[in-house]
Amino acid sequence: MALQLGDTVPNFTQASSEGEISFYDWAGDSWVVLFSHPADYTPVCTTELGEVAKLKPEFEKRNAKVIALSIDDADSHQGWIGDINETQNTTVNYPILADVDKKVSELYGMIHPSISSNITVRSVFIIDPSKKLRLTITYPPSTGRNFDEILRVIDSLQLTDNYQVATPVNWKDGDDCVVVPSIPTDEAKQKFPKGVNEIKPYLRMTPQPNR
């Protein structure tokens, strides 16, 4: 059965470009972004891995670790990392799982049973510190992933976990938020002293509470 949002993600031990990784121990109390690739030396993925290396400080600001996966072995990963560093003008600074036996791919439901596994292993998972799955996106092979969006989702999840708000369409950190429907308007005005704009009884906006 495929992982669903809110499920506890499976633990695993697997080789990587940085040695053997026991996932729960490696993750610790951090958020995790796990993103997978069909094979080494694939062009779109090369650009993605380089971008994530450049964005690693942004993930760290959010207490988030990044870890990639490809179904080739760790020696192959080292050669690919050299190409990524050269062509993307960066230094890959996070592990790439060597999922040769596809153990992790199968645990996380990345492989569609009726399509070539080398095409379908292109997923992103956001996992919170309690090891719960909070987001999953699977991309087609021709479309590079948008890691600014992944950062935006982490911002939203961390905000909405701590305050009784939701984030509206195209929200970015610092924008107004939606007051959740479970809070009556009178209570919301006390809870959010920066103000509540009641557009409709069910649609109420407030400035971002932690700003």
Question: Taking the mean position of all CA atoms in its chain, how far away is CA 68?
Answer: 11
Contact 206, 168 (CB under 8 A): no
pLDDT digits (tens, 9 = 90+) for 64-78: 999 999 999 999 999
Same domain for 112 and 177, yes or no, is: no
Indicate the residue type of 26. Answer: W
What is the set of active-site residues?
45
Tens-digit pLDDT profile for residues 72-130: 999 999 999 999 999 999 999 999 999 999 999 989 988 766 555 554 468 999 999 99
Please tell me whether residues 34 and 134 are part of one structural domain. yes
> What CATH number did the domain enclosing 190 receive?
3.30.1020.10
Domain tally, the chain: 2
Instruction: Say yes or no: 116 and 170 in one domain.
Output: no
Whole-angstrom Cα distance, residue 108 to residue 10?
A: 7
CB 135 within 8 A of CB 37: no
